C-alpha cells in the first residue's frame, strides 16, 4: 500500500468538466449559490447539487448557509493555487480552449486569483517588490524590514499580516504568465488596498480587475513597475 496523501482522489474531483468549471468560477473570490454554479457549469441544478456535495465532502469547497440560501466558496488559498497551476500546465501542454473568449486579453492583463492580484500586473507587482528589496527569498518569500515600512505606509499593519494561519508572502504560479505572482496575507491586503484607493475594481461577474488610467499610473509608481514590463 502506498503511503502519503492520496492525490488520485483530489484529481478525480478536479477531473470532471462540470466540477472544474464550478471551481474556476469560484476563483473570482466570491461565494456563489448552487444555481449560479449550475449555470457556470452548464448543468441542471440537481446535477450541480450532486457535484457540489462531492466537492464539499472532498474538502475543496465550503458552504455557508444564510436562511434558505447556501453559498459555496473555495476551502482555501491552496485550492486556488492548484487550479492556477493546472491552468498553466494545460496552457503549456497545448490543452487550451479552442475559442478564446473576448475577455481573454483582459484576464491575462489583471485578474483576481482567490483574493490576490494575478496576471501581467500581478507578476509585475511581485517583481517590483523584490527588485526594491521589500520582499526577499526564492521559494519561501519574506517581507523585509524595508517592506514592512512600505506596507505600513500604505495603511497595512505588518503585525496583523503575521497574526493569521496563512503565510504572509507566498508565490502562486500564474497560469497566463507562467511566473509567480504574490499570494498570502500580503497579496490579499495589497489587492484590498488597490480597491480601496480606487485604482481598480473587479468587473462584476468576472475575474477581471480593471484599472483606471490614473489608477494604473499610481500602481506602477507605488510598486516601481518598470515601463514596458506589462
Q: Can you give the CATH number for the domain in which 40 is found?
A: 1.10.10.10
Q: Which residues contact 164 (CB under 8 A, 6 or more apart)?
A: 185
For residues 204 and 29, the answer to whether their CB atoms sit within 8 Å is no
Predicted local confidence at residue 68, as pLDDT: 83
Is residue 228 included in any domain, yes or no?
Answer: no
Question: How many whole angstroms separate alpha carbon 185 and alpha carbon 170?
Answer: 8
Predicted local distance difference test score (pLDDT) of residue 215:
97
119 closest CA partner among 168, 195, 74, 181: 181
Number of Cβ atoms within 10 Å of the Cβ of 100:
11
Residue 229 lies in a domain: no
pTM: 0.82
Residues of the chain below pLDDT 70: 1-2, 97-102, 227-230
The single residue listed with the C-alpha cell 501542454 is 93
Torsion on CA atoms 148, 83, 34, 48, rounded to nearest 10: -170
**Is the same domain home to 51 and 83?**
no
Distance CA 76, CA 74 (A): 6
Q: Tens of pLDDT along 78-110?
A: 999 899 889 888 888 877 765 555 578 899 999
- Does residue 198 sit in the same domain as residue 114? yes
The whole-number pLDDT of residue 227 equals: 55
Q: Could you tell me the residue range of the domain that residue 60 belongs to?
A: 7-75
Please give the pLDDT value at position 100.
52
Task: For residues 83 and 129, state if they share a domain.
Answer: yes
Query: Which residue, 41, 75, 109, sits at the end of a domain?
Result: 75
Is residue 66 in some structural domain? yes
Judging by beta carbons within 10 Å of its beta carbon (0-12, 13-18, 19+), is residue 197 exposed, middle or buried? middle
Amino acid at each position: 500500500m502506498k503511503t502519503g496523501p492520496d492525490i488520485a482522489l483530489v484529481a478525480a474531483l478536479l477531473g470532471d468538466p462540470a466540477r472544474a468549471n464550478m471551481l474556476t468560477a469560484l476563483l473570482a473570490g466570491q461565494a456563489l449559490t448552487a444555481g449560479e454554479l449550475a449555470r457556470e457549469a452548464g448543468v441542471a441544478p440537481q446535477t450541480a447539487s450532486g457535484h457540489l456535495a462531492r466537492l464539499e465532502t472532498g474538502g475543496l469547497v465550503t458552504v455557508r448557509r444564510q436562511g434558505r440560501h447556501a453559498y459555496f466558496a473555495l476551502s482555501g488559498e491552496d485550492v486556488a493555487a492548484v487550479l492556477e497551476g493546472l491552468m498553466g500546465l494545460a496552457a503549456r501542454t497545448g490543452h487550451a480552449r479552442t475559442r478564446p473568449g473576448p475577455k481573454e486579453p483582459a484576464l491575462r492583463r489583471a485578474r483576481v486569483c482567490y483574493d490576490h492580484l494575478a496576471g501581467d500586473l500581478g507578476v509585475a507587482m511581485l517583481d517590483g517588490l523584490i527588485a526594491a528589496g521589500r520582499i526577499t527569498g526564492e521559494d519561501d518569500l519574506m517581507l523585509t524590514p524595508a517592506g514592512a515600512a512600505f506596507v505600513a505606509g500604505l495603511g497595512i499593519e505588518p503585525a496583523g499580516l503575521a497574526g493569521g494561519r496563512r503565510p504572509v508572502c507566498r508565490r502562486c504560479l500564474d497560469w497566463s504568465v507562467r511566473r509567480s505572482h504574490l499570494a498570502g496575507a500580503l497579496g490579499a491586503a495589497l489587492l484590498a488596498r488597490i480597491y480601496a484607493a480606487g485604482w481598480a475594481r473587479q468587473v462584476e461577474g468576472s475575474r477581471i480587475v480593471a484599472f483606471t488610467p490614473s489608477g494604473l499610473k499610481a500602481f506602477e509608481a507605488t510598486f516601481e513597475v518598470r515601463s514596458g514590463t506589462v
